[in-house]
Amino acid sequence: MRMAPRSHEGLDKPSGADSQLKHSKMVVFASTTGDVGDEVCIVKVGVPLVVYRREYFSVARSIGAHGDSSARDLPVMGIGSLDNVSDTRAKAAGEGYIYLDHAATSPLRPEAREAMDPFHDVVFANPSGSHRFSRVARRAIDEARDVVAEVIGCRPGEVVFTSGGTEGANSAVFGAVRRHGGVAVCSAAEHHAVLHCVEHVGGRVLPVSSTGALDATVVRETLHSDDGTSVVSVMAVNNEVGVVSDMVEISRAVRRRAPQAILHTDAVQAACWLDLCEIWPHVDVMTLSAHKFGGPKGIGIMAVREGVSLEPLIHGGGQERDRRSGTHNVAGIVGATAALAVTHVQRPEEMVRIGKLREALITGLLGAVDGCSLTVDAQIVVPGIVHVCIEGIENEALLFLLDEQGLCASAASACASGAMEPSHVLAAMNVSKSRSMGALRLSLGHTTTQQDVDDAVRIVTDAASTLRSRSSTAGVR
Amino acid sequence: MKVLVAMSGGVDSSVAALLLREQGHDIVGVTMRLWGGESDTGCCSVSDVDDARRVAQQLDVDHLVFNFAEDFDAHVVDPYVRAHETGVTPNPCVECNRHLKFDRLLERADALGFDAVATGHHARITTDERGALRVTRGADMQKDQSYVVHMLHERALDRTLFPVGGLTKADVRSLASQHGLRTASKPDSQDVCFIQSTTGREGFLERRMTFNPAEVVDTDGRPAGHVAAVELVTVGQRRGLNLGGGDKRYVVDVDVVTRRVVVGGEEDLLTNITLVNQLSWPHTTDKPVAARQVLVQGSAHGARHEATIASAGDDVVSIEWKRPQRRIAPGQTVVFYDLADTHVVGGGIVTS
């Protein structure tokens, strides 16, 4: 069966059934170096920024016109400079809304959307196929892999695309235990994607300090070379309170005390704020989730050091060098990569910009909200997360009032029913019940503006005082 | 009016939300997450929450989930277990209504700036001749739930709505189906939400308390057998006593301290007087200073019996039955209604 080509805006319509394939704009890309005009912003510095932009189609040539030369005309995915990156600030949540929940999901970056676009319909082929359309899809994945490798500082062959952070964590923990046996170890403040896996295989959970970080000393004191530890999982940045782990020291401790163990880091919350190249040398497996850095949901990245063997979680067609079967999510991979590239390029500037916004947010909240205190010292937290506890306030009620005022924030993780669970992270940090029930996480990201911060301070202040003033007259007792 | 509608995922609360929205109220649906463990509808009843959320979406209203699991444990589950340890048989649904559906939810609704809380209970709130708000029986006597909300006092009733209380269950289902609500033909919930039908009360309690064997004797003190768990034996119980054949014998007394269960014939179960404490009087004027004639209902959908209630001490009343009644197990809730059987007068918990 022949697929009917979809028409695209700005494209010539296919002229007839027989020439569908020949003339279809099934696979059309711009040259990255050619005279493509102003609308295509290709950077000449280094490699171009990614970018299978829709508008390329108007200047592109079809496969038909170029026979087998399609591959040659593909733009190269890569990492560019800041000049090309969209200013996404204040565009995501829409008028009247303040989105401070980037740690849950960051709005899709326009670069990701545009990069993905052709891979939904135009480049629809299965990249594992043997025909030309497949080769085009395959090339997109290969190039994406190169870009990801550059951002992480690993080899392209060490990059495995997954369905997300949770799959990555499951693959690391189960993959290590199923392949090597032994005991899985993690910190008590890990995301449930890690913690529940470790608990599931009867592993050990190490206590964290009052900052939520695992102290390397604990690793040194609790692990022994003969205790059969096969995998140690420590998050690079905590998703609730934002504390940064000292992966260098932890790695040293693990290598010394459990040299045979695979060290996995859940770097899902790190991608926006830490240079992954500085973490990668110290770990064996690193997992990322695209929607935390402006990519689409349902796609994750796992870097697995060459020579480290994990039993695959998903068996099947042997994609990803037999490490993760299942037809590639080409659009997702391309979108994730575009977002990661932009995140990487913007990072130094964003660290400074968001760092200032965070400072303003903290100063504002601590100054205006009674009983509000920082859960963890901002010095050891990534710039994107502000976690506070507001004494005497129930965060479930607080979040409702914030939402009513257009402020999107969060507290702890939710269970399957959608109810908020008491935070296991705060419990592991020994935060008192009276403080933890007033926990609030405001997380900043690429769309956050000074206005957002000013509004957030005002809204949280008002909501907290409203809750306090509405002393309860309810009840039947 | 800004109304917080408690949506359990059942048809009654679905229609309650529907009616309020049609009346033009500004409503938000909320499902209370109460039980965190396994239930017949899955872990923390996720499928019920799904139903509630889907109905709210259908009605185009916001839906929230409040996690009251800790309060539920503290006010319903723990007391339920402790009560069994002391040999009494509690009614957890009454306590849930008292502490969660009204106390806690009303308090939360206040904090969030709602004018009222609505539920899908089959009961009505009416104004009596003196202008006082009363919990009144629902229009559908078969489904009437005034028993479980009998404790609501005027201050709570003033901010409570029972939108389906004036409808029959058939009306409710037909409205739901007319509006294409997915819960239209969902079966009514039965039994206690945190007890799974597969393991039952025994399975639930055995993980949370210690059972003790007890000797079973007849009313003359003669040995009649043994039970493995005195804590599971309830006054009025007939089955599960392993007493062999013979006449019908009922449990007439349970003593967990001496580990003795007394059984007797139906006549031994009858009593003229029942004592009740932990009383609630929605209207202080209803407190029986002098003896007062009422109808007494001893279970959620049980029959009403005429009786005279009189004060028998601080927070204790005696029920003097017009005709002898089977004993009601200690821990059970009794609710007093006016003689016309229209509205709640008060209620409490049976002590003996």
Residue B241 has pLDDT above 50, yes or no: yes
DSSP state of B300: T
**Residue-level pLDDT at B278:** 93
Q: Which of A420, A470, A476 sits opposite B102 (nearest CB)?
A: A476
For the segment B22-40, the average pLDDT, to the nearest whole number, is: 90
Selected residues 30-49 of chain B with any CB under 8 Å from a CB in chain A:
31, 33, 43-46, 49
DSSP state of B102: I
Q: Which of A396, A417, A422 sits opposite B44 (nearest CB)?
A: A417
Nearest Cα residue in chain A from B70: A422
A interface with B, Cβ–Cβ < 8 A, is 394, 396-397, 400-401, 414-422, 466-467, 470, 472-477
Q: Does B67 touch chain A (CB under 8 A)?
A: yes
Residue A417: exposed, middle, or buried by beta-carbon count in 10 A (0-12, 13-18, 19+)?
buried
Tokens of B281: 């009087």
**Residue-level pLDDT at A451:** 95
Task: State the pLDDT confidence band at B249, using cuts at 50, 70 and 90.
Answer: confident
For the segment B40-63, the average pLDDT, to the nearest whole number, is: 86
CA atoms within a 13 Å half-sphere pointing along the CA-CB vector of A5:
27
Distance from CA of A474 to the nearest CA of B (A): 5
Q: How far is CA A65 from the centre of its chain?
A: 39
Please judge whether A470 and B110 are an interchain contact, meaning their C-beta atoms are less than 8 angstroms apart: yes
**CA angle (B159, B164, B166) in 5-degree steps:** 100
Distance in angstroms (rounded) separating the CA atoms of residues A117 and B87: 68
Q: Does B102 touch chain A (CB under 8 A)?
A: yes
Please judge whether A476 and B46 are an interchain contact, meaning their C-beta atoms are less than 8 angstroms apart: no
Q: Residue B193 catalytic?
A: yes
Q: Which of A416, A466, A474 sits opposite B107 (nearest CB)?
A: A474
**Residue-level pLDDT at A166:** 97
- Domain architecture of chain B: domains with CATH: 2-178 (3.40.50.620), 211-264 (2.30.30.280), 269-350 (2.40.30.10)
Mean pLDDT by groups of 10 residues along chain A of 477 residues: 36 34 25 33 30 34 36 59 66 74 95 88 88 87 93 96 98 98 97 97 97 97 90 97 98 96 98 97 98 97 97 96 96 95 93 97 97 96 97 93 95 74 92 92 96 96 94 44
List phi, psi (to 5°) of A378: -60, -25
For the segment B106-118, the average pLDDT, to the nearest whole number, is: 96
DSSP state of B46: H
ipTM: 0.85
Q: Does B106 touch chain A (CB under 8 A)?
A: yes
Nearest Cα residue in chain B from A412: B67
Q: Does B112 touch chain A (CB under 8 A)?
A: yes
**Residue-level pLDDT at A383:** 97
Please judge whether A476 and B151 are an interchain contact, meaning their C-beta atoms are less than 8 angstroms apart: yes
Distance from CA of A294 to the nearest CA of B (A): 27
Residue-level length of chain A: 477
- Closest-CA residue to A256 (of A288, A308, A296, A216): A216
Helix (H, G, I), strand (E, B) or coil at B292: strand
Selected residues 283-302 of chain B with any CB under 8 Å from a CB in chain A:
none
Residue B52 has pLDDT above 80, yes or no: yes
Alpha-carbon torsion B263, B265, B266, B267, what sign? negative
Contacts of A472 in chain B (CB under 8 A): 107, 110-111
A47-87 pLDDT, tens digit each: 233 444 333 332 233 333 333 434 444 556 777 766 666 77
- Closest-CA residue to A136 (of A328, A268, A270): A328
Residue B86 has pLDDT above 50, yes or no: yes
- Domain architecture of chain A: domains with CATH: 25-80 (no CATH), 150-342 (3.40.640.10), 346-467 (3.90.1150.10)
**Residue-level pLDDT at B242:** 75
Do A240 and A387 contact (CB within 8 A), yes or no? Answer: yes
CB neighbours of residue B58 within 10 Å:
16
- Tell me the one-letter amino acid at A193: A
**Residue-level pLDDT at A94:** 61
Mutate to test the interface with A, among B112, B125, B280, B315 (most CBs of A within 10 A): B112
DSSP state of B178: H
**Residue-level pLDDT at A255:** 96
Selected residues 113-172 of chain B with any CB under 8 Å from a CB in chain A:
113, 151-153, 155-156, 159
Q: Does B108 touch chain A (CB under 8 A)?
A: yes
